Amino acid sequence: MSTTISPVRGGTGSWEGCPRALDGLISVYERELLEDIAHRLPSFVLPDHLTVLGVFGTALAAAGLIASHVTPLFLWLALFGLFLNWVGDSLDGTLARVRRIERPRYGFFVDHVSDVASQFLLVLGLGLSPLMRFDIATLALLGYMALSVYTYVKLHVTRTMQITYFGVGPTEVRILIGSGLILAALAELPRVTTPIGRLSLFDAVGLLLFIFAISSAALMFVRDARQLALIDPARHGVPAEVSMIDISSGNDGSEAVHGFNA
What domains can be seen in the chain, in order of their start residue?
18-232+240-261 (1.20.120.1760)
| CB-based contact 157:258 (threshold 8 Å) | no
Measured in degrees and rounded to the nearest 5, phi and psi for residue 237 equal: 75, 5
69-112 pLDDT per residue, tens: 999 999 999 999 999 999 999 999 999 999 999 998 898 899 99
Question: Could you say which DSSP state residue 17 is in?
Answer: T
At residue 235, the pLDDT reads 76
Cβ-based neighbour number of residue 92 at 10 Å: 23
Radius of gyration of the chain (CA): 20
pLDDT score of 214 more than 50: yes
Q: What percent of the chain has pLDDT over 70?
A: 81
| CB-based contact 124:62 (threshold 8 Å) | yes
The residue with greater pLDDT, 73 or 28, is 73
| CB-based contact 93:121 (threshold 8 Å) | no
Rounded to whole angstroms, the Cα distance separating 16 from 111 reads 12
At residue 9, the pLDDT reads 36
Cβ-based neighbour number of residue 181 at 10 Å: 27
pLDDT score of 10 more than 70: no
108-131 pLDDT per residue, tens: 899 999 999 999 999 999 999 999
Rounded to whole angstroms, the Cα distance separating 220 from 223 reads 5
At residue 44, the pLDDT reads 95
At residue 247, the pLDDT reads 52
Decide: helix, strand or coil at residue 52: helix
The residue with greater pLDDT, 82 or 258, is 82
Q: Cite the DSSP H helix spans in 159-246.
A: 170-186, 201-231
Helices 170-186 and 201-231: crossing angle, nearest 10°? Answer: 170
Cβ-based neighbour number of residue 153 at 10 Å: 12
Q: What pTM was estimated for this model as a whole?
A: 0.81
| CB-based contact 152:173 (threshold 8 Å) | no
Rounded to whole angstroms, the Cα distance separating 51 from 106 reads 12
| CB-based contact 262:243 (threshold 8 Å) | yes
Rounded to whole angstroms, the Cα distance separating 233 from 243 reads 13
Place 12 in a pLDDT band, splitting at 50, 70 and 90.
Answer: very low
At residue 28, the pLDDT reads 79
What ranges make up the beta strands (E) of the chain? 3-5, 20-22, 161-162, 192-194, 197-199, 243-249, 255-261
Measured in degrees and rounded to the nearest 5, phi and psi for residue 193 equal: -90, 130
154-173 pLDDT per residue, tens: 888 888 887 878 778 888 89
245 forms bridges with which residues in the sheet? 259
Quick one: CA torsion of 194, 197, 199, 204, rounded to 10 degrees? Answer: -70
